[in-house]
A = this chain, B = another copy of it.
Amino acid sequence: MSRPRGRPAGAQGLSRDAILSAALDLLGEDGASLGMRSLAARMGVTPMSLYRHVGDHASLLQALSERVYGEVLEEVDDGADAPARVRALLTRYHDAVGRHPQLTLAIFAEPAALAGTAQRITERLTGLLAAITPEYLLWRDILVDHAHGSGLALCAARGDGAQLDTMRAQYQRALDCMLERLTGLAAGGPG
C-alpha cells in the first residue's frame, strides 16, 4: 500500500506555482483551513514534499498574500483624478479581501506575512491623498482602517455569496461618503 519511497518514476513533480494555486483553491472552500497536511493530501503528495517548494507554513502564507495583494497594485488608470484613483485602489483592496477571507484572517494573525505588499499599497494611497488634502495622513489612516474593518466583516460572512455582494455595495457607499467629506464636495443630501 501507499507509494514506494524515493522520487516517483514517471511523475512530473511539483511546482511552486501549482502549490500556491492549489492552496488558494483549498482556502476558497467552506471551512477549510490551510494546513500543510491537507494541502499535500489535495495534491496527492506527502506533506514534506511541499517544504522544498514553498518553505514552511509561514512562508507559504507570505507567498500567498503577495500573490493576492500584489494584484491590487497592478491597476493603472493614471488618467483619472486622485479621488477616483483612491476609490479604485481601495475597492481593489477590499475586493481582494472578499475573494480570500480565510487567507486574510490568517494574515491578520501573522501580520508580518503582508508587510512588504501592504506598505507599497499604503505608500501609493498616501501619495494620492496628499494631492487631495493637507490632512492626508489622518485620512489615510481612516480609509485604511475602515477598509480593514469592512474586510473583516467580509471574512465573518465567508461563503455567503449574496451577502457578499450586499456588503461590497455597502463598502462602496461608505467609501463614497468619506471621499465626499474628504474632497469637500459635500454632495446633495441624504437619501
Contact = CB atoms under 8 A, between A and B. Distances in A.
Interface of A: 105, 108-109, 111, 133-135, 138-139, 141-142, 144-153, 155-156, 170, 173-174, 177-178, 181, 190-191
B191 A155 contact: no
Given A109-B109, A149-B146, A149-B148, A141 B190 contact: no
Contacts of A139: 177
B142 A178 contact: yes
A155 B108 contact: yes
- Per assembly, the copies of the chain total 2
Query: How would you classify the secondary structure of chain A's contact residues: helix, strand, loop or mixed?
Result: helix
A90 to B, nearest CB: 12
B133 A190 contact: yes
11 contacts: A105-B108, A108-B108, A108-B152, A108-B156, A109-B109, A133-B190, A134-B190, A134-B191, A139-B177, A141-B170, A145-B174
Nearest to A147: B149
